[in-house]
Structure 1
C-alpha cells in the first residue's frame, strides 16, 4: 500500500467523521468541506485512481493533476474560512477572499487548457504558443495556496494564545503547523520554478521529494489538528460527568433539606454539562438557604474543631463548611430557623469556575465521608441534647 493511499484513506475517515457536523454552524460546515475537498484531492494521487481516470479520459488530457489542484484551492479557501470563523468571528476580508477564489479557479482552468504539457513535467519554455501557459497555471495555483496558507498560519498560531483547553491549544498548534508546511510547499515550488526559468536547470527528483513531503506532512498535521478539539470536548464531557457523579450525593442531601431550591423543569440525562451547571446552582442556592438554620458561632466552632483534628490546611475551610452544612441540614428537618443572628459565610463565593468546582467536590467528599464532620455533628447533637436537658431541669425546679 502506497503512502498516498494511506494519507487519502486517513483523510476520508476524518472527513466522513466530521461530515454530519456540516449542518451545525458556519465554521463546522467550512471544516467539513475542507476535509472533504482535501480527501478528494489526495484521492487523485492514489496510483490506482489516477490510472483509472487516465484510462477513462486519456493520459494526454492530464485530468487527475487538474482535479487535484482545483480541489486543493477549494480546500484552502474553506480552511481559511474556518480559521477566520474560529479566531476572527467578526470576519476578515470576506469579499476579497471570495473574489480571489472566484478568479483563481477560472484562470487555472483557462491556463491548463491552453498549456502544452510534456510527459516529463509541467514546465516547458520556448516551444510554441502555449509554452508560457504552464508557468502561468502553476503561478496562479501556487500564489493562491501560498497566500492562503500564510494567512491561515498567522491566524491559527495567534489563536493558540486565546484557547483555554490544553487539547484546544494543541489542535490549533497542529493546524498552524500544517498550514506552515503548506506555505513551505508553495515556497519550494516557487524556488524550483524560479531556478528553472533563470538557469534552465531542473531537479525533478528533489522537487518531487520535497513537494510530496511538505504536502503529505501538511495534510496529516491538519487532519490531526482537526481531531484534537473534538477530543477536548469529549474530555470536558467526561470531566463534567465525573464531577456531577461526585456532587449528586451532596445535592440529594441538601435538596431534601431545602426542596424549594430545586428547579421543576426536567433535563435529559445525556446533557451532562447542563445538568452539572444546574446541580452546582441548586447546591449553592441550598447552602444559601440553609445558612438560616445555623449561626456564625457554629461555623467558628467547626473551624476550631477542624484545626484541633489537624486537618490539612488546604482543605480545612471546606471541611469546616461541610461541618456546619451537616448541622444545618439536621436543624432544617426540624424547622429550627434562626432569626437575628449572623450566618456563616459561603466558601464558594468569589471563585472562578475551576476553583468553584474543586471547592464543591472537596465539600461533598468531606460531607459524605469525613470522620471529622461526623464527629463534629455528634458533638453538636450531644451539646444540644444536654442543653435541652438542663433547660428542662431548670424549668421543673422553678415549678
Structure 2
C-alpha cells in the first residue's frame, strides 16, 4: 500500500470515529467536515482512483481540481473549528464567509478558462490563456496560506488555556499541522514565482516539498484531532479509579452520618459527576462527625502516627483517618460535644484535584492501615464516654 492510500485510509478511519460527535455542537460539526474533506481530498491522490478518473472523465486535471476545492473547504472548516474552540465569541465571520464565497467560484472560473497541459502539474499553462493557471493557483494558494497562518496563530495561542497535557499536545499538533500547511502554500508561491521570473523549473524538488509538507500537515492535524478526545477518556478513567478508591471511605462515613447523602440518583455512566458528589458527601460527613470528637483527639492521633514509624507524608492522612474512624464509631451511640475545639479538616483550602488526592490517601489509610485500627480501638472507650457525659451532652440540631 502506497503512502497516499495509507493516509487516505487513516483519515477515513478518524473521520468515521469522530462522526458520532457531530450532534454535540457546532465546533464538532466543523471538525467532522474538516476530516471528511481532507479524507476525500487524499482519496483523489490514490493512484488507482486518480487514474480511473483521468481515464473515464474527459476533463483535464479533474483530480487536482477536486483535491484543491476540498482543500479549501477543509481549511475553511478547520478555521471555523479553531475559532469555536479558542474564540467562542467569534472572529471575522462575515469576512470568512466572503472569502470562501469568492475563492471557490474564482477557482472554478479560472480552471475552466485555463489552458492545462495534459498529465502535467497544475501550474503555468501555455498560449494565450497561460495566465489563468497562474490566477487559479494564486487564488488557491492565497486562501490556504492566509487560513493556515490564522489557524496556526489561534491553535498555538490556545495551548496555554487547555487544562490537560493531552489537550495542550493536541492543540500543539494542530498548530504544527496548520504551520506546515502555511509552508506548503509558501513553497508553491516560490516555485511559481521562480518559473515566471526566470523561466527555471525544478519539478522534482517541487514535488518532493509539496508532497511531504502536505502529507505531514494532514497527519499532524489528524493526530492533533485524536488527542483531545483521548484526554477526555483519560480523565474518565481517572475519575472512575478515584471513585472506586473513595467508596470505602464514603460507605464508612455515610453509615455514621446518613443524613448527608443526597436523595437524587445518578446514572452509573456519569462517573465524573458521581465522583464530584462522592467528594462532597465525604466532606459533609466529615464536618458532621468532627462534632463528636475534640481537637485533642486529633493531636493524639497525629502523635500516635508519628510514633508508629510511618512515612512523614503519610502522617497527616493517617491522623485524619484515625479521628474519623473514632468519630464514625461513636456517632451512632453518642451526641455531639460542645465547648471544645474540634479537629480541622485536612481537605480544607485545596483545589479539587488535590482534594481528591488527599481523600484517596485518607481512604487508603482508613481501610488498610493497622495504625488506624489500633488507634481506633484504643481511643473508642474514652471518646464514647466523653460524648455521653451529661455535662457535654447536647441535643442534635441545636
| Alpha carbons 1:331, 1:337 under 8 Å: kept | no
Q: Indicate yes or no: 2:203 matched with 1:204.
A: yes
Structure 1 segment 67-106 matched on structure 2, within 5 A: 67-106=66-105
| Alpha carbons 1:27, 1:82 under 8 Å: kept | yes
Evaluate the alpha carbon distance shift between residue 202 and residue 305 of structure 1 in structure 2; reply closer, same or farther with a 3 A threshold: same
Evaluate the alpha carbon distance shift between residue 37 and residue 384 of structure 1 in structure 2; reply closer, same or farther with a 3 A threshold: closer
Distance 1:124 1:344 in 2: 82
Q: Indicate yes or no: 2:136 matched with 1:122.
A: no
Q: Indicate yes or no: 2:331 matched with 1:327.
A: no
Distance 1:384 1:216 in 2: 71
Structure 1, residues 61-94: CA drift from partner, whole Å, max 9, x if none? 3221111101000000010111111111111111
Cα deviation for residue 28 of structure 1 reads: 0.8
Cα deviation for residue 292 of structure 1 reads: 1.1
Which residue of the partner structure matches residue 234 of structure 2?
A: 235
RMSD of aligned Cα (Å): 1.6
Q: Indicate yes or no: 2:35 matched with 1:35.
A: yes
Distance 2:255 2:353 in 1: 27
Which residue of the partner structure matches residue 395 of structure 2?
A: none
User: Number of paired residues?
Assistant: 387
Q: Indicate yes or no: 2:15 matched with 1:15.
A: yes
- The alignment's TM-score, normalised by the length of structure 1, stands at 0.94
Q: Indicate yes or no: 2:169 matched with 1:164.
A: no
Which residue of the partner structure matches residue 217 of structure 2?
A: 218
Distance 2:179 2:196 in 1: 26
Structure 1, residues 72-128: CA drift from partner, whole Å, max 9, x if none? 000000101111111111111111111111110111011101101012333335612
Evaluate the alpha carbon distance shift between residue 293 and residue 236 of structure 1 in structure 2; reply closer, same or farther with a 3 A threshold: same
Which residue of the partner structure matches residue 395 of structure 1?
A: none
Q: Indicate yes or no: 2:237 matched with 1:250.
A: no
Distance 2:226 2:384 in 1: 62
Runs of 4+ in 1 over 3 A off after TM superposition: 382-388
Structure 1, residues 300-340: CA drift from partner, whole Å, max 9, x if none? 21122122223222221111111110011011121332123
| Alpha carbons 1:290, 1:328 under 8 Å: kept | yes
Cα deviation for residue 382 of structure 1 reads: 4.7
Distance 1:349 1:133 in 2: 70
Structure 1, residues 244-271: CA drift from partner, whole Å, max 9, x if none? 0000011011111111111111111111
Structure 1, residues 352-384: CA drift from partner, whole Å, max 9, x if none? 122111100000011111111111111113545
Counterpart secondary structure, 1:136: helix
Structure 1, residues 160-181: CA drift from partner, whole Å, max 9, x if none? 1221211111111111111111
Structure 1 segment 304-319 matched on structure 2, within 5 A: 304-319=303-318
Structure 1, residues 13-69: CA drift from partner, whole Å, max 9, x if none? 0001101111101111111110001001111111111122223322x4322111110
Which residue of the partner structure matches residue 143 of structure 2?
A: 144
Distance 1:91 1:352 in 2: 31
| Alpha carbons 1:174, 1:222 under 8 Å: kept | yes
Which residue of the partner structure matches residue 3 of structure 1?
A: 3
Distance 2:75 2:386 in 1: 79
Distance 1:198 1:338 in 2: 93
Counterpart secondary structure, 1:333: coil
Counterpart secondary structure, 2:348: coil
Cα deviation for residue 234 of structure 1 reads: 0.7
Which residue of the partner structure matches residue 396 of structure 1?
A: none
Evaluate the alpha carbon distance shift between residue 230 and residue 387 of structure 1 in structure 2; reply closer, same or farther with a 3 A threshold: closer
